[in-house]
Structure 1
Amino acid sequence: MYRIILLFLISFLLFMPLDAQKDMNSILSEKYASLTAEHLPGFYLGIIKYGNPIYSKAFGMANLEHFVPFSGRTVSDLGSVGKQLTVMGILQLKEEGKLNLDDEIHLHLSKLPALNEKVTIKHLIHHTSGIPDVYALHSLKGFRYGDHISQSDAYRFLEARPVVDFTPGSRYRYSNTGFMLLAEIIKEVSGRSFEAYLKEMVFSPLDMNQTFIMDVPGEIFTYMADSYVASSQGNYTKRYDNSTLQGGGGIYASGYDVLKWIDNFRTKKVGNEDSFQFMLTNAKLSTGETIDYAGGINVDQYRGIERYHHNGSSAGARTRLVFYPKHQLGFIVKSNTPSVGYSQFTEIENLIIDQYLNDFASKQKSNDNPEERLINNSVTPSADVYTGKYYNEAIDLTIHANIENGELQLSNFYYPLSSLQYQGDDKFSDNRNSAIFFKGKDDEIKGMIIETPRASGIEFLKRNE
């Protein structure tokens, strides 16, 4: 272990230009000077070029209680960055001749209830299956962030509501449920656990020895960071994710290990040419539209430079992985607090481009946090028309609807869900979620349809009491 770390440090000192290293260090050290304190969470940034680590530095603490600094060997939850590893597991099974990507998923999932449409493995990988996201359904049911969710919970939702929300392949909608099913396919086809298969076929060949999969709530790994969120008073509290859903997340890894995975885009030590061709090709919908999502990773251009990238979020952990294939340069940045999150990651990405790819990049920089469009509707909805209880039998859920201060307040038995503004024509929205009410022949409200970014067409009928 120490020999590997020593070689790592020597290599980035040899291959990194001293002026670039100095600039990166000075800019980041100045910008994140506050994180040198022992009472703040932190992050790690590692950059690799042509297989050589050219920058590696951590700021802040992995554990605040025991003053453990963040480092390149700190292990944390990668969140959805792990999806590309799941896809590589599926592609390894394809290379072994054990499945095809156009296979209907029921061929490899004996316990899955019959769905109303044909869904293929490829649909799951591209988020085009129409299967609603399990986290979205759980939130409607009243589950709070951090509540335990297991693989069996996701199956139960599919058993209760065995329908897809649109024709598979016709639309893109992000679904962790789909990647949970990919993990189940890996288990059933390989005859091994999801972790055992990925360890043998992906992690070990790349020497990713500090990469793990959490399949037991609260499982502890060596050098593991705690995750934290800041309170309104400015102090930090721990944030836990007790979900053990596999496939869509739950992969924990060190920064050093993720750099090894990034370099696999160059070496293709794991995965043959056909696998990478599929993994890095943008999906095309049945409408003919091409989307930015490929095989567990986004493929697009930023500032005129092609990149592969994905974000990850779990509890307080935030992660971003980026690789620029034409320049064989990539980076991993991961933190244990949303206080160092996606807006900071965008700043870091722009800094990396300015430092190493400036001759190839446009000066236009994106704003990942644009102001939302303000909804302004002068019409005040009638409380008598929409107020009431609405029930969905499939997921056994009652939602209460009330009009307060001109806005639709939705809540379940446990806590408020949304505050939506009136859009006219019996529709309420907050730019992300919406409730659309529908009427019967008597022109009375009979129910509403809930739409969220990850679940749509969930129909609730009004209860007459």
Structure 2
Amino acid sequence: MASNPRRVPPWIVLAILTATASTSIAPAAADEASGELAEQIDQVFARFDKPDSPGCAVAVMRQGQVIHKRGYGIANLDYGILIASDSVFYLASVSKQFTAACIALLVQEGKLSLDDPLSKFFPEFPEYDGGPITVRHLVHHTSGLRDYLTLMSLGRRRFEDVTSVDEVLELITRHQELNFAPGEKYLYSNSGYFLLSEIVRRAAGKSMREYAREKIFEPLGMKNTRFHDDRSEIVKNRVISYMPQGDGYQISYLANFDQVGSGGLLSTVDDLVLWVRNFESNQIGGDGFLPLMKTRGKLNDGSELDYAFGLSHGQYKGLTTLGHGGAMMGFRTHLVGFPDQRAAVIVLANLGTANPAELAEQVADVVLAEAIGESLKRYAGRYTSDELDVTYEIAAEGTDLVLKHTREVPGKLAPLDDAHAFSLPGTGIELHFTADDAGQITACRVGSGRAQNIRFAKDDVSP
């Protein structure tokens, strides 16, 4: 992307002109495409772009290039420091893909196997009914281990207090039962990824912070990224997070919480762009690294999961996605890639009421409008149910699918996490489309409340 002048929002100009000599205002962050595209993205984040509000750092990539990158709002309300592309956020569960990446690299180095039992690294763990827990189970959230953050909450432990690695290990190993037998189900567990960080330490002979710095962050040039395992450490450009309180905000920040693996990564949108680019350049890990990172988990019955190595496979309006979100304290984070379009949207927020996944989708509607419009056309058509004796018309209008019915006002359909699935907001109606082996949509099943799986055949399927 060509270098563009940094644009300064009008309220910042006003603040500079009216500030006293003792006021320190950081420069605004903006590295963005000019013209209508930038204005449309700015509009998505307009409610954060104020001198008294927490906000977001955003990076947008298309065809492998950064086309928009800037900050909106305030990183630290005490000092009026603006959010910039080098502002350092706590990533929460977006960290998991980096924990999983360390495991993948150790597998390639021959220092561990995904089928190694937990007892190889943690002899203190009890033997569970249903068989041994393996590294693979931890990666894909199929271990059955109870979530340590939930256990801390149920046990009325204060997250504000200092908690050591040994104390968390003792909390997890004290439980003699699992939620289910290993591999039987998928249930998201922070315990699994906390344990993965300790497996890295024991297999590599160094902390995950050191291993990730050596194997991932330094090779990729991610100079402002680290696993934050030292609560006393000074972090330049650190962002503070907030929750709403009355007409303003209150600090929501756990300075003493320094467990890593399930979370704990500090980073910037500048650095995360470099990480996304590695999914094309394959700069680290060799030929087997990226395929392993994208490998979906499987249950004992052979069912395939959407969850891979700290990344979830999904779809948005028919486009293939790969990403992860996070939430901890007042931080809300989301990184989503669109591999077929060589695109990505990164949103890091420091306000607990922000919804970065939704914001990222709104940005995708702007920058991938053409691709989304083409993708939605395959769903468009007339669908008839013999059981209900009714026909629905579904139209592709820009970046939206619209459900039309002769007795109802047309309604925009909202994409669901499942592939080829949409809902009609506020009604409880869901539509799950069926695709043939060639990807052509041939039917859909409609459900609402106590009436489910009603089949609608598409009238105009090409032979």
TM beyond 0.5: yes
Q: How does 1:80-229 map to 2 (within 5 A)?
A: 80-116=93-129, 117-144=131-158, 146-217=160-231, 219-229=233-243
- Structure 1 residue aligned with 2:77: 64
What amino acid maps onto 2:191 in structure 1?
T
SS in 2 for 1:273: coil
> Which runs of no fewer than 5 residues in structure 1 stay unpaired?
1-6, 14-18, 374-465
Asked if structure 2 preserves the Cα contact closer than 8 Å seen for 1:12 and 1:53, the reply is: no
CA–CA distance in structure 2, aligned partners of residues 160 and 20 of structure 1: 54
Task: Provide the rounded CA distance (Å) in 1 between the counterparts of 2:190 and 2:176.
Answer: 16
Helix, strand or coil at the partner of 1:331: strand
Does structure 2 conserve the Cα–Cα contact (< 8 Å) formed by 1:212 and 1:251? yes
* CA apart distance, 1:307: 0.9
* 1:349-360 to 2 correspondences below 5 Å: 349-352=363-366, 354-355=368-369, 357-360=371-374
Letter in 1 for 2:111: K
Q: By how many angstroms is 1:356 displaced?
A: 6.0
List per-residue Cα deviations over 1:201-228 (Å, max 9, x = no partner). 1111110000012112354311111111
Show the counterpart of 2:306. Answer: 292
- For 2:67, the aligned partner's letter is I
1:106 deviates by 1.7
TM-score by length of 2: 0.72
Of 247, 267, 271, 2:281 maps to: 267
Matched, 1:44 2:93: no
How big is the shift at 1:23?
Answer: 2.8
Q: Deviations over 1:68-99 (max 9, x none)?
A: 11011000011101101011101111111111
In the TM superposition, residue 165 of structure 1 has moved relative to its aligned partner by: 2.0
Judging changes above 3 Å, is the alpha-carbon distance between structure 1 residues 222 and 356 closer, same or farther for their aligned structure 2 residues? farther
Alpha carbons 2:345, 2:360 under 8 Å: kept: no
Q: Tell me which of 313, 318, 337 is aligned to 2:327.
A: 313
Return the letter of the residue paired with 1:313. Answer: A
Match of 1:326 in 2: 340
1:159 deviates by 2.9
State the alpha-carbon separation in 2 of the partners of residues 100 and 168 from structure 1: 17
* Residue 239 of structure 1 pairs with residue 241 of structure 2: no
Which AA in structure 1 matches 2:157?
Answer: F
Secondary structure of 1:38's counterpart equals coil
CA contact 2:296–2:304 (8 Å) conserved in 1? yes
Greater RCO (Cα-Cα under 8 Å, separation 6 or more): 1
- Maintained 8 Å contact 1:11/1:52: no
For residue 361 of structure 1, give the secondary structure of its aligned residue in structure 2.
helix
Deviation at 1:24, TM superposition (A): 3.3
Asked if 1:252 corresponds to 2:301, the answer is no
Structure 2 gap segments, 5+ residues each: 8-31, 377-399, 402-413, 418-422, 429-463
Alpha-carbon offset, residue 243 of structure 1? 2.4
Aligned residue pairs: how many? 362
Q: Aligned pair 1:23/2:36, yes or no? A: yes
1:101 match: secondary structure: coil
C-alpha distance in 1, partners of 2:164/2:351?
24
Q: Deviations over 1:437-459 (max 9, x none)?
A: xxxxxxxxxxxxxxxxxxxxxxx
- Separation of aligned partners in 1, 2:5 and 2:180: 50
Which letter maps to 1:39?
Answer: D
Letter in 2 for 1:71: A
Matched, 1:77 2:90: yes
TM-score (norm 1): 0.72
The DSSP-based 3-state class of the residue aligned with 1:137 is helix
C-alpha contact 2:51 2:73 (8 A) present in aligned 1? yes
CA contact (8 A) 2:297 2:306 kept: yes
Contact 2:148–2:172 at 8 Å: present in 1 too? no
Q: 2:118·2:134 contact (CA, 8 Å) conserved in 1?
A: yes
Distance in structure 2 (CA, Å) of the matches to 1:174 and 1:331: 23
**Structure 2: how far apart are the matches of 1:85 and 1:372?**
39
Matching residue of 2:457: none
Pairing partner for 2:415 from 342, 366, 375 = 366
> Partner residue of 1:304?
318
The 10-residue stretch of structure 1 (112-121 or 200-209) with the greater mean CA deviation from structure 2 = 112-121
Letter of the structure 2 residue corresponding to residue 41 of structure 1:
P
Deviation at 1:100, TM superposition (A): 0.9
Residue identity (%): 29
Structure 1 distance, partners of 2:159, 2:37, is 36
For residues 368 and 306 of structure 2, the distance between their equivalents in structure 1, rounded to whole angstroms, comes to 24
Per the TM alignment, residue 278 of structure 1 is displaced from its structure 2 partner at its CA by: 2.3
Quick one: distance in 1 between partners of 2:199 and 2:5?
39
Q: C-alpha displacement at 1:319, in angstroms?
A: 0.7
Alpha carbon RMSD of aligned pairs, Å?
A: 2.8
Distance 2:65 2:100 in 1: 25
Q: For residue 379 of structure 2, what is the aligned residue in structure 1?
A: none
Tell me how far apart the structure 1 counterparts of residues 75 and 370 of structure 2 sit (CA, whole Å): 28
Please list, as runs of the form range in 1=range in 2, the aligned pairs for 1:401-440 lying within 5 A after superposition.
none
Secondary structure of the structure 1 residue equivalent to 2:288? helix
CA distance in structure 2 between the aligned counterparts of 1:143 and 1:357, rounded to whole angstroms = 48
